[in-house]
Amino acid sequence: MDQLPSTPRRIFATLLLALVWAVALAAPAVAQSSEQQLTPRLHSMQLMDALKQGGYTILVRHMATVPATHDPSTFDIDDCSTQRNLSDTGRRQAELIGQSFQKLGIGVGEVLSSPYCRCMDTGQLAFGKAATSEVLRVGDSRPGTGRDDPGIAIRKLLDTPPEAGKNTVLIAHSVTLLYAFGLTSRPEGVAHVFRPTGLGLGRPDYIGIVKPGEWPVFAGIDVSGESADGEAGAGIPTKSQ
């Protein structure tokens, strides 16, 4: 039987080894995705009842912003006038969420936010407070690898238990949600609920999803005639964060 010359054999062996390594490196990511699944465990009022008990982390994208706009080239993190900010709809969404939490009896402990004005304003309008967190600022940074992966720090935040009887709220950007576990980031104002394990592994349990217009519905707040859903007319730019 003819054999390959030594040089082609070495090339073939190198390619085969590279393929084996590629499959091996991809396996953990596939396993994690399959294990996590991100299937909501609780819906509607079941989810609201769980939040009343406290012990959860709520990762929220900032509320609706001015349609089809991006942060200008003059962007300055310390100057809100140079940023894409909340629209009137977004400000009303935040206010309604705060009212909904109060009416439902959902306790809020820490509120951590990206330093962007649209995130800080969301926290202030909804909960009357917001502390800046650089971990949640990844909306303007590039994906990392290994220990530089910004998703690691985000997942650890999600896996940190809140104070007893309270829930932690994290306010960030679309890319932050994607870094966390590949979460959907639409519409603006969407919230994902996690139950921290407290093990420090960055593997919280995924519990459910709430769209901005659903909070007042669950709380029985009459919003007839208002556009507070965030799906229509809120302006969701494809590349906005």
DSSP characters over 110-174: EEEE-SSHHHHHHHHHHHS--EE-GGGGGGGS----GGG-HHHHHHHHHTS--STT-EEEEEE-H
Q: What is the pLDDT of residue 237?
A: 34
Q: Which residue has the higher pLDDT, 73 or 36?
A: 73
176-227 tens-digit pLDDT: 898 888 899 999 999 999 999 988 889 999 999 999 999 999 999 998 877 6
Task: Say how far apart CA 143 and CA 219 lie, in whole Å.
Answer: 38
Please report the pLDDT score of residue 200 as a whole number: 81
Q: Rounded mean pLDDT of the chain?
A: 82
Check residue 40 and report its DSSP letter: -
Which residue would you say has higher pLDDT here, 25 or 109?
A: 109
Residue 86: name the closest of 59, 112, 111, 61 by CA: 61
- What pTM was estimated for this model as a whole? 0.78
Residue 193 has a pLDDT of 98
- Close Cβ partners of 211 (under 8 Å, ≥ 6 residues apart): 187, 189, 190, 191, 229, 230, 231
At residue 1, does pLDDT exceed 70? Answer: no
Q: Residue 33: its pLDDT value, please?
A: 38
The pLDDT value given to residue 72:
77
Is 155 within 8 Å of 205 (Cβ atoms)? no
Any idea which of 14-18, 45-49, 178-182 has the lowest mean pLDDT?
14-18
Above 80 in pLDDT, residue 113?
yes
Structure tokens at 153: 């720090």
